[in-house]
Structure 1
Amino acid sequence: MHSIDIGINKENRHDIADGLKRLLADSYTLYLQTHNFHWNVTGPQFRELHLMFEEHYTELAVAVDDIAERIRTLDVAAPGTYKAFAQLSSIDEVEGVPAANEMVERLTKGHEQVVKTCRDVLKVAQEADDESTAALVSDRMRVHEKTAWMLRATIA
């Protein structure tokens, strides 16, 4: 394979990729949590939450692929195991099946955490003049901010 020359030095590419790995792990963990809640939600808001969670995990499935491909574009291997994601993620695993309102609260916190992870990665990307990563991360941040708002609105 040829060496990579995209205007970002190796050290910066690795620093950016490290942040993206955390974002990937947070996003994948949130994807799994959302899918789990989609399957297991019950109660008076069943239909609304079941459909909303499906929209969210479907969007996250595309996002994890975009993030992993950006890591590969930087010539770094993307993590892809539960063990790696568990070590990298800032989102806590869920034990059992919480009540619907707790599901919404946990997902809200998860999306807010992803926003914070995005902010950290964005700083590193901007310092390295990596507009492609900055655009990806900025777009992800916007999606998660809006999703957290919508989740908060369901339990307000």
Structure 2
Amino acid sequence: MVRANGEKFWCAVSGQVINPENPTEGSIWLYEDVTHQRQNEERLTRLASSDILTGLPNRGVFKDRLEHAIHKAQRQNGRLAVFFLDLDHFKHINDSLGHKAGDILLCEVARRIRSCVRDSDTVARLGGDEFTVMLEDIHSAQYVGKVAEKILSTTLCRICWITLK
């Protein structure tokens, strides 16, 4: 709904006729602003599906997307590739520079990986210093190799990749 000042808000509406025997006598409507509840639900959904630090999809979302992509590739006789990325010597960074520095590095690596793939591809953080990338609708192993090289050149990651037929 929209307030008199033009501000939009979420509203729960319920109504009741005054006299069920004669509905033309009128009705009573109750409007309740549920914006805060709605925002909390959206926040909880985001927390449940994304990594708090990087904002990337989490392990559970990645697993769901991977299962869906595998079934889609099987139905359409397509291919997809999955990368597993691990930061080299990340424990040393955390131990020597502190967890705040490690967190900054993880966020920057996430940003850089995202910049190397299409918007339709999935980049997820599994936890710690582990990331995954899923490329759907790929047409050649050369393309997968180029994406892997691009990720390697922009991050400090070690990549293991497989192409699924």
Q: TM-score, normalised by structure 2?
A: 0.28
Q: TM-score, normalised by structure 1?
A: 0.29
- More relative contact order, 1 or 2 (CA 8 Å, 6+ apart): 1
Decide which structure has the larger Cα Rg and report it: 2
The structure whose residues are more often strand, as a share, is 2
